Structure 1
Amino acid sequence: MYCVIQEIETRRMQKNGYPKRIETYFTESNVIPSYYGYCYSTERFERPIKKAYRISIHESYREAGRIKKKQFVVCTVNYYSIADDSFNLYDWGDSRINIAVDALCCSSEFLYDLIEKKLNPLKEHIQAEFAQTEEFKVHEEHERITTLYAVSKAEFNERYGTVGSNAYDQCYDVFGVLQNPQRLKEIEEEYLEKINYEQKSREQSRRYYEDSYSNYNRNSSGSFGSVGGQRNEESKATLKQFYRTLSKAYHPDSNPGKDTSEEMKLLNQIKIDWGL
């Protein structure tokens, strides 16, 4: 049993190569902030090589003293589907391979291995040849640009807390060129306002905690359980609210990059002391 890959000529030259350019565009809106986007050009590289490869499985055997053959065509793949690595043997030939499996009484793993051993050297040759073309080099540059764009956008959103938005696209184009300095300045100012607000909120929460704890110590003769009757339940509900507010303010999830372990340790001790 063996695999045959036959080179054949195709009739037409392909015109559906990779796009020749990345193009930017500007979307202006009165509803949302205007932003810069990108698309690929409709002009594409022509693909002049008119070759395809017919992949088949063969088996020779003897019957009544005569040599006979079984042949199963798996698929025919064109040169550029191999060149740009869009060809997948499973997607293109699995149904035909399964037919051959039943007729030849072997496993699909055996046939896949048989084909791939024959196909892989051809793939390596074609892809190395394609890598020398202008089409491939332009495509690789496009991949570099769009990958760098995605990384820059993610870093920008992480820096300014704008994850899930198109804030980066409101300032920069796909090539990383700053197109709207005014919008960038606004985003930076919004970020600073947010940081200042959060810092003031933490300071207010700390003062609120310190004042509340100080007042409680002055008015309490011991643990929370020493306060009796209806006043006990009302005070306990108030103290629980204090505890929840402070726990949220000093929880590690609310303070990325800041160590609040001492504050949380103190709060946990207060929870015990107050009997919450």
Structure 2
Amino acid sequence: MGYYDFIDSWYGDNYIDRTLKEKLNEMSIDEDTFHEMINAKLEPLAKQIESEFQQTEEYKVKKEKEAILMAHREAEVAFEKEYGEGEYKYCYDVFGTLRNPDYPYLQPIFK
């Protein structure tokens, strides 16, 4: 696992289930015991990495991006409740800026 794996994923994404089951059989442990052992080792490291990451400019940019996307999704849902699914993208960009005021569904709004 690399640095960003601790930030963006779960360690379980890095193994194949069939291979894991074979190794667990070899070690004579069940999967729950395996996860408890791994979590005991990884949790302190993951907390340290997360703490360090939160001090970076990259983290701040990530949070800004998440906020923009959340606002976009909320606006998209509200718009599409009124005008139909898939229509928002023809009118607005991800920042909520109107890009197509001539779109037919918007005519009653802007006249």
Q: Which sections of structure 1, spanning at least 5 residues, go unmatched?
A: 1-76, 190-276
Runs of 4+ in 1 over 6 A off after TM superposition: none
1:137 maps to 60
In structure 2, distance between residues paired with 1:92 and 1:165: 35
Asked if structure 2 preserves the Cα contact closer than 8 Å seen for 1:154 and 1:163, the reply is: no
1:78 maps to 2
Residue 105 in structure 1 maps to residue 28 in structure 2: yes
Equivalent in 144, 153, 176 of residue 76 of structure 2: 153
Deviation at 1:117, TM superposition (A): 1.1
Equivalent in 97, 103, 107 of residue 186 of structure 1: 107
Instruction: After TM superposition, list the pairs within 5 Å mapping 1:1-276 onto structure 2.
Output: 77-82=1-6, 84-86=7-9, 88-93=10-15, 94-159=17-82, 162-166=83-87, 168-183=88-103, 185-188=106-109
Asked if structure 2 preserves the Cα contact closer than 8 Å seen for 1:149 and 1:174, the reply is: yes
SS for the counterpart of 1:179 is coil
* Structure 1 residues 187 and 150, CA gap change in structure 2 (3 angstroms): farther
Deviation at 1:89, TM superposition (A): 2.6
In structure 1, distance between residues paired with 2:25 and 2:106: 68
Deviation at 1:174, TM superposition (A): 1.4
TM score, norm. by length of structure 2: 0.77
- Tell me the number of residue pairs that the alignment of Structure 1 and Structure 2 aligns: 108
Asked if structure 2 preserves the Cα contact closer than 8 Å seen for 1:149 and 1:175, the reply is: yes
Asked if structure 1 preserves the Cα contact closer than 8 Å seen for 2:69 and 2:94, the reply is: yes
Deviation at 1:95, TM superposition (A): 4.7
Deviation at 1:153, TM superposition (A): 1.4
Q: Which sections of structure 2, spanning at least 5 residues, go unmatched?
A: none
In structure 2, distance between residues paired with 1:182 and 1:106: 64
- The structure with the largest helix share of the pair is 2
* Structure 1 residues 95 and 120, CA gap change in structure 2 (3 angstroms): farther
**AA of the residue aligned to 2:86:** S
**AA of the residue aligned to 1:188:** I
The structure number with the bigger radius of gyration is 1
TM score, norm. by length of structure 1: 0.35
Asked if structure 2 preserves the Cα contact closer than 8 Å seen for 1:172 and 1:178, the reply is: yes
RMSD (Å) for aligned C-alpha atoms? 2.4
- The structure with the largest strand share of the pair is 1
